[in-house]
Amino acid sequence: MATALRSLFSVASIARPRIAAPPHVSARASPAFRCPSVRSLCVASASEQLPVAGLCYDLETTSLDTDSTEIVQLAIVVANSKKGACWSSVVMPDGPISREAAEVHGLSRDVLEGRGARRFSEVWSEAEAWLDETVGTERPLVWCAHNGARFDRPILQRSILDAFEGASSTHFSSERATFVDSLQLARDKLGTPGQRSAAGAFTLGWLYEDATGTPIRGAHDALADCEALSAVWKWLIEARGADARASDFQEHLQHIAYAGPAPRRRASKPGGGYLGRQARAPRTGTGGGTGVDLDTDADVTTMPGVGLQLSKRLNSQGIHTVGDLKEQWEERERDPVEMKKYLASKMIGIPSIAVNKLVKMVRQEFGA
């Protein structure tokens, strides 16, 4: 099946034309997509299936609050395009851009004005027109973002509804669209429950380096992150076997679109777990009491509980390594209350539960 599908599917990269925006209609209206329901279990035989497009997407935003943040950059990469089809645009938000967010992605209001940023409604209409020209109007779409289930997807969905007065997009919110979270894929396939030392191994940057042997260039730019995600997603499927039903990436997409996501199964290798670069890096004990030695020169994401968004905020405050975090802890005389106050004041918008958890991990690693 996979060979036949690959011969059918060829996507050409195109320029970014200013094409008239397609009408926005509710997902309950009559969408152009006429395939059998993607929620039905394999109702279409392989010969009846349309070749599915795998879309990596990423956002840069004004803050980390998923309920109110606005998009300042949106990018899409067709992961199974033979010619590297991609699209990206900056967006002018209505509200302010937090200082912390601007320090991470570099997109201040002045920068956005200089790059000709437009309102989200215009940008999304252009994105839809580009998708229609690039992958057609009927093929199923599988959207993938890293931590997308908790961050990118709800933000983009809300932004579309707000911009078009409650009308949803047939590209993003109909039976044509299905969603994958690469963070979930990585944890399910490579992680072991309770394996604390694997907590920092699932950031996009770390997975990309494991997949390619090189670091991401231009991290925190939406297009660069999308291109990195494309490599990681295919690596998870084809090299790590994250979808047991599929022998290659295109077959994985067909299964996702027509039969739904594979059942979630955690890796269960006794005493194992995916350590990524951590397993290959020398470790120097920090004196903590968790039984996991951490290299003080290692990236802060090696700290248990520090994921992509929290690491971005820590980096914006000059905390890049485990040693940097330990130094802040010792400057506050290993006082949890003072450490919470410091982190809360520097990372506005991060939920207090995340700050409390981080301080708890710091205390366990470095001692009271």
d(CA 350, CA 346): 9
Write the CATH number of the domain with boundaries 283-366.
1.10.150
**Region of residue 89 (phi > 0: left; psi between -120 and 50: alpha; otherwise: beta):** beta
Residue type, 302: T
CA distances from 134 to 10, 13, 32, 81, 141 (A): 10, 7, 16, 9, 12
Q: Please report the pLDDT score of residue 320 as a whole number.
A: 78
User: Tokens representing 355?
Assistant: 């700050």
Within 13 Å, how many C-alpha atoms sit on residue 278's CB side? 26
Where exactly are the structural domains of the chain? 2-17+32-259, 283-366
Taking the model in full, what pTM does it have?
0.66
Are 90 and 73 in contact by the 8 Å Cβ rule? The answer is yes
d(CA 128, CA 125): 5
Q: pLDDT tens-digit profile of 178-217?
A: 999 999 999 888 865 444 244 457 889 889 988 999 888 8
Residues of the chain with pLDDT under 50: 2-43, 193-199, 266-292
Q: Which CATH superfamily is domain 2-17+32-259 in?
A: Ribonuclease H-like superfamily/Ribonuclease H (3.30.420.10)
Are 331 and 297 in contact by the 8 Å Cβ rule? The answer is no
